[in-house]
């Protein structure tokens, strides 16, 4: 049953990617062009630091799969792509392994193919502390992702219906494992109050996992006999909305959900993300163009991120948070409703020029 569900998720997610690559709220974030802001490509460092961790690039392959023979092959290929490009990678939820330990290989292949890479194990918020430890041990994981997915569970015919224990359980997991815990949504977003609550539980990274890419309300609705949850397909907040909502939080933020291209990565970094993850796009490339196609795509994305940072005058991912961005459309309306001031985002370079003038710093 669970192995079949994992295969269904892959099939339905890839169908979604093939059918829809249109507008999402990342398009409501644009940069002010400054013609003389450019720097030399050789000035760029893509390294990103957060929660005591350093990654060479601010891009990772986000959680997807494992638990069936087909998804074990996908995990092998994703691990090869991660190894060849140096990007961190997460496995999909390891609950199939807890239910059937004979599926362990479909997850541990991530470490076997990528012995030196940064690997994130993945569990749901009902996993016991012991299961979280087992997941970390199996992958010799460098971090643990815990996923939050109330809407997916709600629409999933066989899904959970009880969510009250999730917060306390995350606190127990944080206290009981010896790697950093990153909590992620699966495509409906994390609000500021969710991020703050996670911070209080000791979570080091909140991966906002916003709306606009892979849509698990639609995927699970497609698995229901009556398909009677169509009206939930627009639920949740986009990744840029979540990043703006949680600006200034003490928890490091990752951006994911609907990331389509290198510009979405740069937009995310400019809105304060420490790193940016993609799932559906990479899965589609892997299935359509093979592992070499995925490696080529990741290399191109990294190359283009460097190119865009060079034109924007940002030497590091953190420098992008000083670039001027305009917020428009539905994202602007979200900000107005939430009392988020967007004017200062559009004038950040002027503010930093004024600071330099008063302190006498040269640019
Ligand atoms: C996912 N995602 C996911 N997330 C998670 O934490 N555990 C999981 O087991 C899965 N499973 C899964 C399967 C498939 C086929 C896909 C495409 C995705 C969710 C994923 O990590 C991410 O949050 C969402 O897909 C949104 O990002 P994209 O796809 O829009 O880049």
Tell me, yes or no, whether 110 lies in a domain: yes
Is residue 231 predicted with pLDDT exceeding 90?
Answer: yes
Is residue 134 predicted with pLDDT exceeding 90?
Answer: yes
Spell out the residues 6+ positions from residue 89 whose beta carbon is closer than 8 angstroms to its own: 60, 61, 78, 79, 82, 110, 114, 117, 118, 119, 120
Tell me, yes or no, whether 345 lies in a domain: no
For residue 281, CA distances in Å to 15, 179, 207, 235, 296 come to: 11, 28, 17, 21, 13
pLDDT digits (tens, 9 = 90+) for 70-103: 999 999 999 999 999 999 999 999 999 999 999 9
Alpha helices in 90-128 (DSSP H): 95-99, 105-113
* Mean pLDDT, residues 260-284 taken together: 98
Nearest alpha carbon to residue 150 among 124, 174, 176: 124
Tell me, yes or no, whether 277 lies in a domain: yes
Tell me, yes or no, whether 346 lies in a domain: no
The pTM for the full model equals 0.97
What backbone phi and psi angles, to 5 degrees, belong to 188?
-125, -5
pLDDT (0 to 100) of residue 363 = 44
Is residue 59 predicted with pLDDT exceeding 80?
Answer: yes
pLDDT (0 to 100) of residue 360 = 60
In this structure, what CATH number is given to the domain that contains residue 6?
3.20.20.70
pLDDT: which is higher, 118 or 352: 118
Query: Number of structural domains, the chain?
Result: 1
pLDDT (0 to 100) of residue 22 = 86
Tell me, yes or no, whether 323 lies in a domain: no
Is residue 356 predicted with pLDDT exceeding 90?
Answer: no
For residue 311, the CA-to-ligand 1 centroid distance in Å is 32
Q: In terms of residue numbers, what domain contains 297?
A: 2-31+38-317
Average pLDDT of the chain, as a whole number: 96
Which of 279, 281, 298 to probe ligand 1 with, by most ligand atoms within 8 A of CB? 279
Enter the tokens of residue 91. 């496995």
Phi/psi-derived region of residue 329, left when phi > 0, alpha when psi is between -120 and 50, beta in every other case: left
Tell me how far apart the alpha carbons of residues 149 and 211 are, in angstroms, rounded to a whole number.
12
- Residue 92 CA: which ligand 1 atom is closest? 9
Tell me how far apart the alpha carbons of residues 49 and 42 are, in angstroms, rounded to a whole number.
20
pLDDT (0 to 100) of residue 362 = 47
For residue 213, the CA-to-ligand 1 centroid distance in Å is 10
pLDDT (0 to 100) of residue 20 = 79
CB hemisphere CA count around 37 (13 angstroms): 21
Is residue 118 predicted with pLDDT exceeding 60?
Answer: yes
Question: Which residue's structure tokens are 């995350």?
Answer: 170
pLDDT digits (tens, 9 = 90+) for 37-51: 999 999 999 999 999
For residue 92, the CA-to-ligand 1 centroid distance in Å is 7
Structural contact between residues 187 and 214, judged by C-beta atoms closer than 8 angstroms:
yes
* Mean pLDDT, residues 162-189 taken together: 98
Tell me, yes or no, whether 216 lies in a domain: yes
DSSP class of 236: S
Which residues face 185 on adjacent strands? 148
Enter the tokens of residue 292. 């070499």
Q: How confident is the model at residue 116 (pLDDT cuts 50, 70, 90)?
A: very high
For residue 260, the CA-to-ligand 1 centroid distance in Å is 14
Residues in contact with ligand 1 by the CB-under-6-Å rule are 9-10, 13, 62-65, 92-93, 122, 145, 147, 184, 186-187, 209, 213-214, 256-259, 278-281, 283
Tell me how far apart the alpha carbons of residues 27 and 29 are, in angstroms, rounded to a whole number.
5
For residue 296, the CA-to-ligand 1 centroid distance in Å is 21
pLDDT (0 to 100) of residue 359 = 62
pLDDT (0 to 100) of residue 354 = 73
* Mean pLDDT, residues 266-275 taken together: 98
Tell me, yes or no, whether 307 lies in a domain: yes
Tell me, yes or no, whether 261 lies in a domain: yes
For residue 255, the CA-to-ligand 1 centroid distance in Å is 13
The residue whose CA has the least distance to atom 6 of ligand 1 is: 147
Is residue 8 predicted with pLDDT exceeding 90?
Answer: yes
pLDDT digits (tens, 9 = 90+) for 302-351: 999 999 999 999 999 999 999 999 999 999 999 999 999 999 999 999 87
Nearest alpha carbon to residue 125 among 174, 190, 72: 174
The residue whose CA has the least distance to atom 1 of ligand 1 is: 64
């Amino acid at each position: 049953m669970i192995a079949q569900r994992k295969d269904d998720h892959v099939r339905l997610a890839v169908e979604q990617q093939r059918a829809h690559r249109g507008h999402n709220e990342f398009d409501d974030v644009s940069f002010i062009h400054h013609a003389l802001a450019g720097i030399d490509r050789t000035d760029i460092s893509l390294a990103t630091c957060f929660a005591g961790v350093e990654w060479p690039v601010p891009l990772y392959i986000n959680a997807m799969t494992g638990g069936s023979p087909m998804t074990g092959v996908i995990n092998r290929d994703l691990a090869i792509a991660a190894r060849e490009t140096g990007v961190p990678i997460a496995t999909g939820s390891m609950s199939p392994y807890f239910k059937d330990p004979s599926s362990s290989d479909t997850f541990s292949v991530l470490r076997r193919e990528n012995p030196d890479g940064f690997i994130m194990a993945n569990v749901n918020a009902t996993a016991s502390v012991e299961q979280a430890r087992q997941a970390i041990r199996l992958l010799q994981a460098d971090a643990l992702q815990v996923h939050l997915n109330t809407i997916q569970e709600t629409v999933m015919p066989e899904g959970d219906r009880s969510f009250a224990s999730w917060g306390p359980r995350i606190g127990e997991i944080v206290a009981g494992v010896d790697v950093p815990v990153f909590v992620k949504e699966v495509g409906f977003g994390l609000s500021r109050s969710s991020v703050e609550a996670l911070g209080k539980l000791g979570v080091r990274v909140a991966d906002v996992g916003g709306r606009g890419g892979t849509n698990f309300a639609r995927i699970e609705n497609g698995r229901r006999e009556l398909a009677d949850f169509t009206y939930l397909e627009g639920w949740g907040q986009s990744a840029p909305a979540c990043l703006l909502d949680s600006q200034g939080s003490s928890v490091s933020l990752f951006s994911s959900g609907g990331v389509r291209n290198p510009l979405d990565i740069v937009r995310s970094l400019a809105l304060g993300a420490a790193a940016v993850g993609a799932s559906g796009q990479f899965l589609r490339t892997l299935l359509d163009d093979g592992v070499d196609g995925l490696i080529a795509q990741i290399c191109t994305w990294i190359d283009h991120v460097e190119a865009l940072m060079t034109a924007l005058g940002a030497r590091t991912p953190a420098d992008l948070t000083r670039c001027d961005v305009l917020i428009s459309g539905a994202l602007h309306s979200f900000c107005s409703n939430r009392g988020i001031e967007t004017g200062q985002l559009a004038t950040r370079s002027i503010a930093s020029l004024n600071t330099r003038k008063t302190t006498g710093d040269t640019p």
